[in-house]
Structure 1
Amino acid sequence: MSLFWRIYVLNALVLGGATALLLWAPVTVSVPVVLTEAVILVVGLVVMLVANAALLRIALAPLDRLTRLMTTVDLLRPGQRLPEGGRGETAELIRTFNDMLERLEHERATSSARALLAQETERRRIAQELHDEVGQSMTAILLALERAAGEADEPLRGELRQVQEITRGSLDEVSRLARRLRPGALEDLGLVSALTSLTTEFATHAGLRVVRRFDTGLPAFDHQTELVLYRVAQEALTNAARHAEADQVEVSLLHTDEAVVLAVGDNGRGTGAAREGAGMRGMRERALLIGATLDVASRPQAGTTVRLTVPLLRKQP
């Protein structure tokens, strides 16, 4: 039965019930209408309106649920669906909406994968250029300054030494940026070594104490999964340094038989509700690439914890 006929039948039932009451009830309407008869008519009208509203509420409840889902759905949190029970136009609408969500989630995951792959390729290119071109040019400048300082007299020699130290610091910063853009330790030494290097560098530059807890015997991951774990840890540490006002961060990488869990928690001010900025949404997009789940817990004055859960594929017996 279509939605139109369903509403029509409900109204017809209410009106039919009211008509039956008028036909078989012992109450009549006088001219002029007396107070008792007017009260009975008003009460009957109220009962009819209440019954009609209740029946329509029941009939249109699936549409209300669909409307709420449409206003709150987020493609970065996949799996939000409505139950598809029943028949008719409403059930068909819910099934169509669920199918549309599935297609959109698939297309979003595909486009995000292409965008993130292009981003990593561009990061690799920039890191290579920083290392090969900018780094070599600054190294040549350092050598030239060294020669000039050796041949110059005071006070020019002291000034050249100062410029040399500034250039050396800039070269170190360029090298650090290149390592952040292209984590060579991840490709050469593996995930645990790369996370250890990342947290050590973070502690040195951010001035925070970093506590590491890495399980031994972690399962082997493909390169994409390792890169997602590394980038999520990197972004979470960056957020902790910029916004948390913390003095300690704990990074853990633990595993069970079902999943591997990366957690980055700080003891900062927290927010009560984690803000979904560009960095957070970028972490969610990366999590979708490998079928992982990203959870963010933030409480006022109790810090923020970012947890990435990567399910492990069970081997068939």
Structure 2
Amino acid sequence: MSLFWRIFLLNAAVLVAAVLLLLGPVTVSTPVLLVEALVIGVGLVVMLVANAVLLRIGLAPLARLTRAMTSADLLRPGSRAAVAGPGEMAELITTYNTMLERLEAERARSSALALSAQEAERQRIAQELHDEVGQTLTAVLLHLKRTADQVPEPLREELHQVQETTRGGLDEIRRIARRLRPGVLEELGLHSALRALAAEFTAPGLTVRHHIAPGLPELDDKRELVVYRVAQESLTNTARHAGARVVDLRLEPGPGGAVDLVVGDDGRGIGGAPEGSGIQGMRERALLIDAGLTLGPSADGGTEVRLRVPATEGKTV
């Protein structure tokens, strides 16, 4: 029975009952007596309450569906509305759940393509920085050195300063290229890449401590890249926004053979601040490998990012 006919028949039943009462034991005098007015008033209240209760029961599945639609987030997949109610109500909820599954699958595919294109573009830019800009600055340094050896003494000190500035720019370009394309990840693996990442972010006022547990399940290249990028983004957010003094980066075993990446700091925490593009990017990367990403307060009062990666079958390292 459709929702329209259910509501219509419920209201009709209440009205028919009221008419039968008026035609039967309930009568109205002219003028209306106080007792009759009380009976009619009570009857009206009973009809309204009965109608409200019946409509509330009948429309409850729609209210639950509305709450599920409001709270749906494609970056946190898996949430579904409970299928309840008769007839087209259950069919509507089932259709919504099916649509949500399709949207999550399409978003996962589009995110995978976008992130793959992003990684390819990062590698291209890093290669050009290394091959073009890096080599050009190296040639400039060599030319400055030859020139400094031939110029008079008063100009030699200025050329040395230019050399140091150029050398600093070259080091910065190399650092940017390493962040764009983590060569140490490709050459030495995840563990060495995370140690190098921790050392890179350690600076005056910020200490990054790392601990990598032995005997962890081996991850494939795709999972290793996601773990590295999440760690990199977490450390970047901490250095920029947290005001932290100490950051702990851990790679440790999780339940069911999973691997947990944990980045916790002693900064000011995220509080009620909305998630920015960096955190959303981490969630999208986590979805690519069916990993779980959670953010919450750390034991030191700051922020803790936890990435739980389901391990691929293979040996431990």
Is 1:309 paired with 2:312? no
Distance in 2, matches of 1:183 and 1:24, equals 88
- For residue 217 of structure 2, the aligned residue among 204, 219, 224 is 219
**Cα offset, 1:179, TM superposition:** 0.2
Residues 5, 44 of structure 1: alpha-carbon distance in 2 compared, 3 angstrom cutoff = same
Rounded Cα–Cα distance in structure 2 between residues aligned with 1:243 and 1:257: 31
Structure 1 residue 156, shift from structure 2 partner = 1.0
* Alpha-carbon distance change, 115 to 83 in structure 1, aligned in 2, over 3 angstroms: same
Classify 1:115/1:91 alpha carbon distance in 2 versus 1 (closer, same or farther; 3 Å). Answer: same
Q: 2:246 aligns with which of 245, 248, 251?
A: 248
Alignment of 1:167-246 (within 5 A): 167-204=166-203, 207-246=205-244
Contact 1:138-1:171 at 8 Å conserved across structures: yes
- Are positions 1:297 and 2:296 aligned together? yes
Other structure's SS at 2:262 match: strand
Provide the TM-score with structure 1 as the length reference: 0.94
Aligned residues: 313
Note the alpha carbon deviations across 1:187-211, whole angstroms, 9 max, x for none.
011111100000100113x741112
Instruction: Return the alpha-carbon distance in structure 1 between the equivalents of residues 174 and 180 of structure 2.
Output: 10
Distance 1:123 1:313 in 2: 26
* Alignment check: 8 A CA contact 1:265 1:306 kept: yes
Q: What is the CA–CA distance in structure 1 between the aligned matches of 2:313 and 2:35, rounded to whole Å?
A: 76
Alignment of 1:75-224 (within 5 A): 75-204=74-203, 207-224=205-222
Cα offsets for 1:134-186 (capped at 9, x unmatched): 00000001011111111112321111110100000010000000000000011
- C-alpha contact (below 8 Å) 2:75/2:283 kept by paired residues: yes
Give the equivalent residue in structure 1 for 2:11: 11
Is contact 1:2-1:88 (8 Å) kept?
yes
Distance 1:314 1:143 in 2: 51
The CA distance in 2 between the partners of 1:180 and 1:28, in whole Å, is 88
User: Aligned equivalents of 2:150 and 2:160: distance in 1?
Assistant: 12
Secondary structure at the aligned position of 2:82 is classed as coil
Could you tell me how far 1:11 is from its partner in structure 2? 1.3
> What are the Cα deviations for residues 242-299 of structure 1, in whole angstroms up to 9, with x where unaligned?
1111111111111135111111111111132353110011000000000001101148
Distance in structure 2 (CA, Å) of the matches to 1:208 and 1:14: 72
Greater Cα shift, 170-179 or 16-25: 16-25
| DSSP 3-state at the match of 2:83 | coil
My pick for the range that moved more, 31-40 or 154-163, is 31-40
CA distance in structure 2 between the partners assigned to 1:18 and 1:213 by the alignment? 76
Report the residue type matching 1:8 in the other structure.
F
Give the partner amino acid of 1:250: D
Give me the CA root mean square deviation.
1.8
- Structure 1 residue runs of 4+, over 4 Å off? none
Moved more, 152-161 or 122-131: 152-161
Deviation digits for residues 72-111 of structure 1, max 9, x if unmatched?
A: 2111110110122444111100010000000000000000
Worse overlay, 214-223 or 110-119: 214-223
Per mean C-alpha deviation after superposition, the further-off stretch among 88-97 and 37-46 is 37-46
SS in 1 for 2:263: strand
User: Percent of pairs identical after alignment?
Assistant: 63
Cα distance in 1 between the residues matched to 2:246 and 2:19: 75
Whichever residue aligns with residue 228 of structure 2, its letter is: Y
Which residue identity does 1:52 align to in structure 2?
Answer: N
- With over 3 angstroms needed to count, the CA separation of the structure-2 counterparts of 1:125 and 1:298, relative to structure 1, is same
User: Which amino acid in structure 1 is aligned with residue 211 of structure 2?
Assistant: R
Task: Give the drift of 1:15.
Answer: 2.1
**Could you tell me how far apart the structure 2 residues matched to 1:115 and 1:64 are?**
36
Question: Are 1:274 and 1:296, in contact at CA under 8 Å, matched by a contact in 2?
Answer: no
Structure 2 counterpart SS, 1:262 = strand
**Structure 1: runs of 5+ lacking an equivalent:** none
